[in-house]
Every structure is written in C-alpha cells, then in structure tokens.
Amino acid sequence: MSYNWHLYIIWDYRWVFVRGAMFTFELTLLSLAVGVIVGLPLGMARGAQHRLPRAIAMPIIEFFRSTPSLVQLFWIYYALPILIGVRLEAMVACTLGLGLHSAAYIAEIFRAGIASIDKGQSLAAKSIGMSYLTSMRRIILPQAVRRMIPPFINELANLIKLTTLASVLAVYELLHEANDLIAQTFRPFEIYTALAIAFLVIIFPLIYLSRKLELYWAKRS
C-alpha cells in the first residue's frame, strides 16, 4: 500500500477538533443532566412497591430502550414540532433526545442498584420507624450508589459515542466538524482516523476505570 499520509492536516486543523470536542463535551454533559434528572425518578417508579408508578415507568423505559436513538432524535426534531407547534433548535432536540434515551438506561441502572440491596436493610430501617424516603436516603442509596457507579460510567461512555448522532441535525460536535473538514481537504483517511483515536482517548479510560472500580468493590464486599 502506498498511501501518502498527510498527518500534518490534523495539526493544521487542530482547533477545529478542539472546538468539536468542546461541543461534544457540552452535549454530553447536558444530555447526562437530563438523563439523571429524568432517570432517577423513573428508576424509583420502576422499582416501586405500588403498581401505578411501575405501570407508568415501564412503557417509557422500554420505549426508549427499544427504539433507535437516531429515530428518537429525528422524531423530536421533525415530528414533535408538528405536535406542539414549536420548532426546537437542533441542540435542544439533541439534548432532549439523547437525554431521554440515556434516562431509560440510567433508570434501569438505578432500579437494579436498589434491588441489589438486601431486603433486610429496608426491614431494619422500617423497624426503627424510618419513612420510605428516609430509608432510601440514609440506608439504601448510600449502599446502592456504589453498585451503580460502574454501569453508570459505562452508560456515560455510550452517551459520548451517541453524541455523534447529533451531526445529522447539524450540531457542530466532533463528527460534524470532521465531515466539514473532509469536504474542504479531501483527506477522509487522516481525519476519520484522528476522530476515532480522539474518541478512544476519551472513552477507553472511562471503561477502564469502571472495570477497576467494579473489581475493587467486588473484592471489598
């Protein structure tokens, strides 16, 4: 193979990458915020004793887990405005779409974490007169959070990768910047390679950390 590498292109356009990475970062954080804020109550409802909250939470969670994130984004950007009569900005639609998508997974992480705590813990908390919310806050969650952190980090890694979907709605995250750059320079090989490596550099440490934490806590309990 005699491909002529033009690696200097990456260096020449480094600020484009940095700008894209900032946007990716921003979109990730905003979506994560939506994911946590919606996901926590959704997960609590999903694991509730009463039937009603469960019946409400389950279809929401299953809907977002069983349909492609890209379709959800298109739906929120193109279909939702027809329904509510307000056009969403691309960034808002992406934050909402990716946020709700991750909320469904975060809800499951949250529910499973709570369910993994021995039933005796909430019995003991109840038996000294604690309310449900107090026992959650004082007894169950402090123990469950530990078990939630590794899968939560994995979900964060997924979310970072999913932000590339925002490029189709003209949000200037990494992939979109890269595509624009390719249109200018005709160097897809260098640019996509650099892009892949950029994601690898961000995501691999996260996955590594999650695995280490899992092992560490498994050993201690």
Residues within the interface to another protein (CB under 8 A): 118, 120-121, 123-132, 134, 138-139, 142-143
Cβ at position 8, least distance to another protein in Å: 54
Please, what's the largest Cα pairwise distance for the chain? 75
Cβ distance 206 to 156 under 8 Å? yes
Q: How far is the CB of 131 from another protein (least distance, A)?
A: 6
Q: With respect to another protein, which residue has the nearer C-beta, 77 or 110?
A: 110
The answer to whether residues 28 and 17 touch, using CB atoms and an 8 Å cutoff, is no
Burial of 31 (0-12, 13-18, 19+ CB in 10 A): buried
Q: Return the number of the residue (131 or 184) whose C-beta is nearest another protein.
A: 131
CA angle 92, 96, 101 (to 5 degrees): 150
Please check whether residue 39 is in contact with residue 159, taking contact to mean a CB–CB distance below 8 angstroms.
no
Q: Which is nearer to another protein, 109 or 144 (CB)?
A: 144
Nearest approach, Cβ of residue 216 and another protein (Å): 16
- We find the least distance from the C-beta atom of residue 219 to another protein, in angstroms, to be 13
In whole angstroms, how close is the CB of 147 to another protein at the nearest point? Answer: 12
Amino acid 141 reads L
Please give the DSSP secondary-structure letter assigned to residue 118: -
**101 and 64 Cβ atoms separated by less than 8 Å:** yes
CB nearer to another protein: give 59 or 120.
120
Q: Which of 3, 71, 13 is nearest to 198 (CA)?
A: 13
Cβ closer to another protein: 138 or 161?
A: 138
CB of 44 to another protein, least distance (A): 17
45/125 with CB nearer another protein: 125
Phi and psi based region of residue 49 (left: phi greater than 0; alpha: psi -120 to 50; beta: remaining):
alpha
